[in-house]
Amino acid sequence: MYDTIVVGAGVAGCVLAGELARRGNKKVLVIEKRNHIAGNCYDEYDEYGIMVHVYGPHIFHTEYERVYEYLSQYTEWYEFGHEVHANVHGNIINVPFNLNTLHKVYDEEKAARLENKLVSSYGMDSRVPILTLKENEDPEVREVAEYVYENIFLRYTMKQWGKKPEEIDPNVTARVPVVISRDNRYFKDKYQGMPLQGYTAMFEKILDHDNIEVQTGTAAEELLTIKDDRIYYEGEVFDGPVIYTGLADELFGYEYGHLPYRSLKFKFEHYKKESFQGCSVVNYTVDEDYTRITEFKYLTGQVNTPETTIVKEYPEAYNGENTPYYSINNPDNDGVYAKYKAKADRIPNLYLLGRLAEYKYYNIDAIALRSLELADSLVRGSE
């Protein structure tokens, strides 16, 4: 009945299903355990008519022409240069720390002096890791590094990952950049913005094909089983490609233990006023339990609404009940993952794809590219 089964209707699953159906002319079944498609990119209008991102703010940005052209077949774009601010004890500054930030942190005279020193030491448009700044012989330049470490990096990272200062990898700390530029954009990618009608609408179009059947509200375990390195669909051996984008440990019954993740709690708030913070994202890098506040209207361009909705993000441990968001990659956890991967590799028609199945962080564009490339090889293989 089906040539291919795709588990999960996130970015990875949708792109793959769409390509196999169109280019490969394959009959594809997509199984999704949530009651909606689009995975963590899922967006919807809330009860006040504001478009919100249910699993946290997602800004599309890419340098990959192929991904931009591919997605542009299914959406137009609201293009904008995403900026991020940080609230440091009530002072709103730009992040990453750049020349504009200098002028918000120090008085005019000191900021101008520091600007000259940074530009003459490192050159305009460079990104200088704070470790490099810390090695500068000028104490004022070293002071900038200290400010960034204390007020932008340290407490934010402790909240995000639930770590004590001594548990934070010094290699990560060393790489935190100061940007010698006046460009406030957070990403430098050529394309950045938001699907004009939202992500869900874009993925609906990708899945809208006669060769694709989507079953939401259905967990893979209800239809698929694995026994003796073979995959069974409703009790019958299934030899076509199975692309699995769910948790690798869950697929194999947690045989080698649970893979640790960081989770997030999202608290949505609605305000009967035009604006809450006047911009899309403010990181709380020193105070508060939440890491950031996103005001959706500035992300999606829906700015003409008289009211506004925001979301606060509270990092927390993953406990098996909440959503696994960020894999916690270290040699121990990666070693456990490698065992699951080796087990999957013994099943010739099983492909692990995506942020959960591959136990790694992917941006939208990176996983879209990887899915397009896997589709290339599957279509080629069946020609």
Ligand X SMILES: Cc1cc2nc3c(=O)[nH]c(=O)nc-3n(C[C@H](O)[C@H](O)[C@H](O)COP(=O)(O)OP(=O)(O)OC[C@H]3O[C@@H](n4cnc5c(N)ncnc54)[C@H](O)[C@@H]3O)c2cc1C
Q: DSSP code of 187? A: -
Residues 44 to 103 in contact with ligand X, rule: CB under 6 A:
56-60
CA distance 290 to 153: 14
| Distance of closest approach, residue 272 Cβ to ligand X, in angstroms | 27
CA distance 49 to 354: 31
Backbone angles phi, psi at 84, to 5 degrees: -120, 140
Q: Identify the residue among 71, 362, 369, 374 touching ligand X (CB under 6 A).
A: 362
Q: Identify the residue among 3, 6, 10, 375 touching ligand X (CB under 6 A).
A: 10
CA distance 129 to 58: 26
At residue 200, what is the residue type?
Answer: T
Q: Does 16 bind ligand X (CB under 6 A)?
A: no
CB closer to ligand X out of 15 and 145: 15
What tokens appear for 316 in the block? Answer: 């927390």
Residues 301 to 320 in contact with ligand X, rule: CB under 6 A:
none
Residues 146 to 205 in contact with ligand X, rule: CB under 6 A:
none
Q: How many residues bind ligand X (CB under 6 A)?
A: 35
CA distance 22 to 27: 10
Is the peptide bond between 96 and the residue preceding it cis, with omega within 30 degrees of 0?
yes
Do 16 and 243 meet the contact criterion of CB atoms below 8 Å apart? yes
| Distance of closest approach, residue 234 Cβ to ligand X, in angstroms | 15
What tokens appear for 288 in the block? Answer: 């508060």
CB closer to ligand X out of 128 and 251: 251
Q: Does 259 bind ligand X (CB under 6 A)?
A: no
CB closer to ligand X out of 35 and 120: 35
CB closer to ligand X out of 105 and 226: 226
Q: Does 260 bind ligand X (CB under 6 A)?
A: no
Q: Alpha helix locations (H) across the chain?
A: 11-22, 65-72, 99-105, 108-122, 130-134, 139-148, 155-161, 170-175, 199-207, 220-223, 248-251, 297-300, 331-345, 364-381
Which residue minimizes CB distance to ligand X?
10
The 327-356 contact track toward ligand X, x by CB under 6 A, reads: ---------------------------xxx
SS3 call for 303:
coil
The 29-48 contact track toward ligand X, x by CB under 6 A, reads: --xxxx----xxx-------
CB closer to ligand X out of 70 and 362: 362
Q: Identify the residue among 5, 9, 207, 375 touching ligand X (CB under 6 A).
A: 9
Q: Does 298 bind ligand X (CB under 6 A)?
A: no
Residue 243: C-alpha distances to residues 45, 104, 191, 232 (Å): 30, 49, 28, 14
Q: Identify the residue among 4, 8, 280, 375 touching ligand X (CB under 6 A).
A: 8
Backbone angles phi, psi at 312, to 5 degrees: -105, 140
CB closer to ligand X out of 60 and 147: 60
Which chain residues interact with ligand X by CB under 6 A?
7-13, 31-34, 39-41, 56-60, 219-220, 245-247, 264, 325-326, 354-356, 362-365, 367
